[in-house]
């Protein structure tokens, strides 16, 4: 989907994603000391807003101006006054003026060549000791999980992402498949719990 398509999707509802950060972003990064952070393919900025609420100077990058505008309004309405800079740009090519302490990519589901460019570019933004965290729909979710993209070409595994980073000087902190519990109406007025499978990669630039 191109930028115009995402603009239409974001314009069609109040929020496409939740106001809360992705659960793995929150778990993995809760103990990091605040610094400068970039949220690539940020959408409405839920992860950038969460980071900013914890003292980070965050930049949210997305090619949908509609999504960024919604995120900026959420920030304006937040009594914590989160420090987020909103940038309309291609998440696979944009880069900051100076190295940063953290880069997050959450659910950027693109073909392998674009993914490789994005993750290598993301690690290249980091200062030594900086953290890169990627969360995405795992390839196995197509047959073993629920929801998410139904096109295998935009899914990935942690091994795929690590291969993308071949030749870069990084320390792997965590890489693997993780379960995310979701709920859906069961047809009887209750909730049926289902498991979605994501891949998670966390590395530190040396």
Instruction: Round to whole Å and give the CA distance between 87 and 122.
Output: 15
Domain range holding 96?
3-11+18-205
More confident of the two residues 9 and 95: 95
* Matching residue, tokens 């993995």: 28
* Matching residue, tokens 């420090």: 83
User: Can you give the CATH number for the domain in which 111 is found?
Assistant: 3.40.50.150
Please give the tally of structural domains in the chain: 1
Strand-pairing partners, residue 40, are: 61, 105
Going by pLDDT thresholds of 50, 70 and 90, the confidence category of residue 189 is: low
Contacts of 98 by beta carbon, 8 Å cutoff, 6+ apart: 36
Going by pLDDT thresholds of 50, 70 and 90, the confidence category of residue 87 is: very high
Task: Tally Cβ neighbours within 10 Å of residue 179.
Answer: 10
Instruction: Round to whole Å and give the CA distance between 51 and 83.
Output: 9
Cα 36 from chain centroid?
16
User: What pLDDT score does 80 carry?
Assistant: 76
R_g over Cα of the chain? 17
């Amino acid at each position: 989907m191109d930028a115009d398509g995402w603009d239409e999707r974001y314009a069609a509802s109040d929020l496409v994603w939740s106001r809360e950060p992705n659960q793995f972003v929150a778990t993995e990064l809760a103990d990091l000391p605040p610094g400068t952070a970039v949220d690539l393919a940020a959408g409405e900025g839920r992860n950038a807003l969460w980071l900013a609420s914890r003292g980070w100077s965050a930049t949210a990058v997305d090619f949908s101006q509609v999504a960024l505008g919604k995120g900026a309004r959420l920030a304006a309405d937040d009594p914590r006054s989160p420090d987020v800079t909103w940038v309309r740009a291609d998440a696979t090519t944009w880069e900051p003026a100076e190295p940063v302490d953290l880069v997050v990519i959450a659910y950027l589901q693109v073909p392998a060549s674009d993914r490789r460019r994005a993750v290598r570019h993301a690690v290249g933004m980091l200062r030594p000791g900086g953290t890169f965290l990627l969360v995405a729909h795992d390839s196995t979710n197509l047959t073993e999980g629920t929801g998410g993209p139904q096109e295998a070409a935009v899914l990935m595994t942690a091994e795929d992402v690590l291969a993308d980073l071949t030749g870069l000087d990084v320390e792997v902190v965590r890489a693997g498949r993780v379960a995310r519990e979701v709920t859906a109406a069961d047809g009887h007025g209750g909730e049926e719990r289902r498991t979605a499978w994501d891949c998670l990669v966390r590395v530190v630039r040396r």
